[in-house]
Amino acid sequence: MPPGQYVVDDFPVLTAGPTPEVSLAEWTFTISGEVDAERRWTWEEFRALPAEEFTVDIHCVTKWSQLDTFWEGVSLDTLLDGVDTSAEFLVARCDGGYSTNLPLEDVLDGKAWIAFAYDGEPLEPEHGGPARLLVPHLYLWKSAKWVRELLLVDEDEPGFWESLGYHNHGDPWQEQRYWGD
Ligand SMILES: Nc1nc2c(c(=O)[nH]1)N[C@H]1C(S)=C(S)[C@@H](COP(=O)(O)O)O[C@H]1N2
Ligand SMILES: [Mo]
C-alpha cells in the first residue's frame, strides 16, 4: 500500500459537478493535437478494438484505496499505436469540462486504459460510464471519467485539479498529493 492510504471495500464516487449524459450514438473518442492525423472512433468502432481485462489497485488522494479492482478496457498502447507525434504530454478532456494532464510515458507500456466495464458490468455513469481513463499507478484524479479526447501537446498544461493545487504528477508511492509535495 502507498503511504497514508487505507483500504475500503466499496467504491466511493468523487465528482466535481453533475454526472454528464451522452448517448452511445453521439459518443466519439478522439486523439488530437500534435498528431500526424487526428484519430476518431465511434462507440462501435471503439468497442471493436482489442480490449483487455485487468485487475489493479486504485488510490484516491483523499486516502482511500481499493485493492484488486477488475476492469475491461482498451489499452492506450492500442489507441496510440501508429500515432506519429512529437508530443511528450497529453491532456485528457471529458464531457462536463473536467481535464487532467499526464506525461505520455505514464500512459504507455501497459500503464493506462480507456475502461468501459467494471466488475464484469458496463461502467456505471457515476464512475465514468460509458468510458473513463484509468491510470492506476497514479492518484485517481488522473483517471478522468467520461473522457472523450486525448489532446497531445508539446508543453505540459495543468488540468482541473492540477490548476487548483493538486500535484502535477500524482504518484501515490511518493505521496505527491498537493503542489509542493
Ligand atoms: N470527469 C471527471 N473525472 C474525474 C473526476 C471528476 O470530477 N470529473 N474526479 C476525479 C477524482 S478526484 C477521483 S478521486 C476519481 C473518482 O472516481 P470514482 O468516482 O469512480 O471513485 O475520478 C476522477 N476523475
Ligand atoms: Mo480524488
- Ligand 2 center from residue 62 Cα (angstroms): 6
12-49, pLDDT tens digit by residue?
999 999 999 999 999 999 999 999 999 999 999 999 99
Contact between 113 and 73 under an 8 Å Cβ cutoff? The reply is yes
Q: Please give the helix or strand (H or E) that residue 162 lies within, else none.
A: helix 160-163
What is the residue extent of each domain of the chain? 25-174
Quick one: which atom of ligand 1 is closest to the CA of 15?
7
Letter for the amino acid at 18? P
Fold of 25-174: Sulfite Oxidase; Chain A, domain 2 (3.90.420)
Indicate yes or no: pTM above 0.75.
Answer: yes
The pLDDT score that the predictor gives to residue 91 is 98
144 Cβ closer than 6 Å to some ligand 1 atom: yes
The pLDDT score that the predictor gives to residue 176 is 98
The pLDDT score that the predictor gives to residue 98 is 98
What confidence tier does 11 reach under pLDDT thresholds 50, 70, 90?
A: very high
- Ligand 1 center from residue 164 Cα (angstroms): 15
Helices (H) and strands (E) in the chain, counts: 3, 11
The three cell numbers locating residue 24: 452511445
80-123, pLDDT tens digit by residue?
999 999 999 999 999 999 999 999 999 999 999 999 999 999 99
The pLDDT score that the predictor gives to residue 101 is 98
CB atoms within 5 A of ion ligand 2 belong to 14, 60-61, 141
The C-alpha atoms of residue 147 and residue 163 are separated, in whole angstroms, by 18
Pocket perturbation via mutation, ligand 1, pick of 5, 14, 22, 70 by most ligand atoms within 8 A of CB: 14
